[in-house]
Amino acid sequence: YDVKKFEKEVTDVVFNANASINFYMFFGGTNFGFMNGGDGDKGLVTSYDYNAPLSESGNYTDKYWKTKELIEKFNKERAQPKLLIPKPPTYVAPVSYGKLKVKDYLSLEDVLTKIKPIVTEKPQHMELLNIGTYYGQNYGFILYRLTNLQKFKHLKLTGGASDRGVILVDHKEVGVVEGKKDYNQDLNDTQFANTTTHTLDIMVENWGRLKIGSNMNIDRKGLNGDVDVDAKVATNFQTFPLEFKEPFVKQLSELKGKPFVEGIKSPAVYRLELDIRDSPKDTFIRLDGWSKGNVFINDFNIGRYYHIGPQQTLYIPAPLLKTGKNDILVFELHSSTGTVEFVDTPHLG
């Protein structure tokens, strides 16, 4: 939607048709945390930069200056009271803080030590968990665990998952379930650890809530039906709600970590430190080579990233940073490169 088309359409509406207009968006900004939402099966990225007159970080775009020009033209040609054109505030450009390497990491088992599991006979949607007053879990991830299993050859998830689940056997990824269709998977002996009993984990991610429509009333997240292990319906689940609220993220920052090693193929929290010597400025984080997850800066949930794009950067406003040490946590679902980069330019695809 380039500036020439923008100018033509505004001119047609305001000057030729003598009508009024509303801007959507004039400034979109970004969706922090888990608040991206969706429209049916069409998801929204974390950024809410809709190529508007003001960019995600508040920068002036060609559309902004064209809007100012059109208002000035309107003021000259029309007799009604003049529209106010305020002086634009000074824009402070984002900066590049360069590349950072992972300092250490927490395994999924480390993370789960901070969560008391809920025992249920069958898998429950996160909204039905008894963890709040008159409500269950709203956002984040939910992990379903079966323990003391013998080796099995076939796994079936009736109704699949809402919205996407990582399947782990003995703490290693063996598959991914996505969507509400039945999921079937065959397994072999090499996918099990050399132990007498085994653990099956299914970590389901809530991709966001519907933003409109009657289906908002039935928008449930988690496993949608029974888990069959070798054609037998499994029972007695340990369920871990991972909401990643700020106090929980702070606890993860304080845990003792393990030295980073390459080749981790399961969900983990990776920790880094960004040292800022002067007054913080806006920046953007890139996670090239990472897979999927969330970024937290000083315990604040910046948002989601996903290697398939289109968005490849997450916006970090200066007020979330501080002079000195800044704690960065990345909850990665699959695998990481061990390096992130802070850049001064967004890449939204």
pLDDT digits (tens, 9 = 90+) for 113-125: 999 999 999 999 9
Task: Say which CATH architecture domain 114-242 belongs to.
Answer: Sandwich (2.60)
**Residue 77 pLDDT greater than 90, yes or no:** no
CB-CB contact of 320 with 295 (8 Å): no
pLDDT of residue 116: 94
What is the model's pLDDT at position 16? 85
- Alpha-carbon distance 33 to 244, whole Å? 9
CA-wise closest residue to 266 among 152, 179, 174, 140? 174
Average pLDDT over residues 237-253: 97
Q: How far is CA 237 from CA 154, 216, 223, 279, in A?
A: 18, 27, 12, 49
For the ranges 78-82, 106-110, 259-263, which has the lowest average pLDDT?
Answer: 78-82
Inter-residue contact 226 to 148 (CB < 8 Å)? no
Q: Taking the domains of the chain in order of start, what are their residue ranges?
A: 3-77, 98-108+245-343, 114-242
Q: What pLDDT, on a 0 to 100 scale, did the predictor assign at position 241?
A: 97
Model pLDDT, residue 133: 65
Residue 218 has pLDDT above 70, yes or no: yes
pLDDT score of 212: 82
Give the pLDDT confidence score for residue 254 in this predicted structure. 93
Cβ atoms of 160 and 214 within 8 Å: the answer is no
Closest CA to 160 of 222, 210, 218, 216: 222
User: Would you state the torsion angle of the CA atoms of residues 183, 189, 192, 196, taken in this order, to the nearest 10 degrees?
Assistant: 120
Residue 23 pLDDT greater than 90, yes or no: no
Same fold, 3-77 and 98-108+245-343: yes
Q: Quick one: pLDDT at residue 38? A: 72
Percent of the chain whose pLDDT exceeds 70: 99
pTM: 0.93
C-alpha 94/C-alpha 138 separation (Å) is: 33
Fold of the 3-77 domain: Jelly Rolls (2.60.120)
Contacts of 53 (CB under 8 A, 6+ apart): 23, 26, 27, 60, 61, 63, 64, 67
More confident residue, 306 or 17: 306
- Residue in the block written with tokens 């508040």: 58
User: Are the C-beta atoms of 127 and 135 separated by less than 8 Å?
Assistant: yes
Per-residue model confidence (pLDDT) at position 209: 86
Yes or no: say if 317 and 284 are a contact pair by the CB < 8 Å rule: no
What pLDDT shows up at residue 65? 94
Least confident of 87-96, 115-124, 165-174: 87-96
When pLDDT is cut at 50, 70 and 90, the band that residue 74 belongs to is: confident
Q: Which of 255, 306, 288 is nearest to 100 (CA)?
A: 288
**143 exposure class (CB count in 10 Å sphere: 0-12, 13-18, 19+):** buried
Question: What's the mean pLDDT in 315-324?
Answer: 98
Residue 190 has pLDDT above 90, yes or no: yes
Q: Which CATH number fits domain 98-108+245-343: 1.20.950.20, 3.10.105.10, 3.20.20.140, 2.60.120.260?
A: 2.60.120.260
